[in-house]
Amino acid sequence: MVTGATGNLGHSVVRAFLERGAHVAAPVRNESKAAELRNAVDELAGTIDDPHLITEIADIADQPAMGAFVEKVMRAWGRLDILANLAGGFATGSALDAQGIDALWKQNVRTTIATTAACVRPMRARGYGRIVSVGAISGLKARKGSAGYAMAKGALIRWTEALADELKGEGITVNVVLPSTIDHPTNRAAMPKADPKTWVSPAELASVIVYLCSEEASGVTGAAIPVTART
Ligand SMILES: NC(=O)c1ccc[n+]([C@@H]2O[C@H](COP(=O)([O-])OP(=O)(O)OC[C@H]3O[C@@H](n4cnc5c(N)ncnc54)[C@H](OP(=O)(O)O)[C@@H]3O)[C@@H](O)[C@H]2O)c1
């Protein structure tokens, strides 16, 4: 299961999973972006009779809605081993802006918790799971204007530690990656004077996520891993 699959990082992560033979279920909120994703990975997406990529409109902040999507995935493929929580977003705002902070919390934290709660059930039943969320390096240190984002991404670190501890001994690992600026067209357009060579590429970040979701990463759990490339 990959959330945020229609985003800049999402395309790279979905591709990386499909290339390694995984099947990917992607809850989306925009059908035309889902079609773009399917086109972008068309050669890896399987066939109508044997789809390797399923996209479906589902609200990732709504646990029952995600539970229904998980049931559909279980009927299609019989298991759900991996959850990559990529969905999230950034906005600047004052540390005194309660409404703005609430919105960033919902977008980055509530979505992750609701989706994970739905996906953990089949993982627990099978005694195996890999959960990786995308935080941000700014979750470690806030600056002026970044309160809501840094608080939300910082909360994902503490949440990861707590959930990893909760699931210890059940074969399920829980980790969070902390990227600095990701090199993609949206960031290049927003920061034309910056040097994108120092930024982490989506492929570099996808490799770390895919590794943490592999069987051989069984020894890593509760970790917050900076992925800051050349920053
Ligand atoms: N960009 C960076 O430099 C950077 C740095 C550090 C961490 N991150 C984190 O990395 C992750 C991916 O970032 P990105 O650069 O790929 O961002 P992006 O291109 O804006 O993609 C974000 C994805 O999340 C989805 N999404 C956002 N809010 C949602 C909501 N409330 N409900 C459902 N889906 C939602 C978006 O759906 P739609 O396509 O429908 O909009 C999109 O698929 C995010 O968690 C971000 O915070 C990014």
Domain boundaries, given as residue ranges, for the chain:
2-227
CA of 6 to the centre of ligand 1 (A): 8
> Among residues 49, 52, 57, which one has the least CA distance to residue 38?
52
Protein residue whose Cα sits closest to atom 13 of ligand 1: 9
* Ligand 1 contact via 12 beta carbon (within 6 Å): no
Beta-carbon contacts of residue 50 (< 8 Å; ≥ 6 apart): none
Beta-carbon contacts of residue 111 (< 8 Å; ≥ 6 apart): 3, 60, 61, 85, 87, 88
What are 100-123's pLDDT values in tens digits?
999 999 999 999 999 999 999 999
Q: What ligand 1 atom has the least distance to the C-alpha of 61? A: 32
Instruction: Give SS3 for 27.
Output: strand
Looking at residue 97, its pLDDT comes to 98
How confident is residue 221, by pLDDT bands cut at 50, 70 and 90?
A: very high
CA of 137 to the centre of ligand 1 (A): 15
CA dihedral (199, 201, 204, 208) positive or negative: positive
Q: How far apart are the first and last CA of the chain?
A: 30
Phi/psi of residue 34, each to 5°? -65, -40
Q: Give the whole-angstrom CA distance, residue 109 versus residue 122.
A: 21
> Among residues 131, 133, 41, 147, which one has the least CA distance to residue 87?
133
Which CATH superfamily is 2-227 part of? NAD(P)-binding Rossmann-like Domain (3.40.50.720)
What are 10-61's pLDDT values in tens digits?
999 999 999 999 999 999 999 999 999 999 999 999 999 999 999 999 999 9
User: How far, in Å, are 6, 105, 208 from residue 23 at the CA level?
Assistant: 16, 29, 18
* Ligand 1 contact via 85 beta carbon (within 6 Å): no
* Ligand 1 contact via 179 beta carbon (within 6 Å): yes
The two structure tokens encoding residue 112? 């992750």
What are 14-26's pLDDT values in tens digits?
999 999 999 999 9
Protein residue whose Cα sits closest to atom 36 of ligand 1: 4
Looking at residue 101, its pLDDT comes to 98
What are 83-95's pLDDT values in tens digits?
999 999 999 999 9
Under 8 Å between Cβ of 31 and 39: no
Phi/psi of residue 149, each to 5°? -70, -50
Q: Give the whole-angstrom CA distance, residue 34 versus residue 21.
A: 20
Under 8 Å between Cβ of 1 and 198: no
The proportion of the chain whose per-residue pLDDT surpasses 70, expressed as a percent, equals 100
How confident is residue 81, by pLDDT bands cut at 50, 70 and 90?
A: very high
pLDDT, average across residues 141-167: 98
pLDDT, average across residues 199-206: 98
pLDDT, average across residues 63-77: 98
Q: Which helix (H) or strand (E) holds 133?
A: strand 129-134
Q: What is the pTM of this model?
A: 0.98
Q: What ligand 1 atom has the least distance to the C-alpha of 182? A: 3
What are 165-175's pLDDT values in tens digits?
999 999 999 99
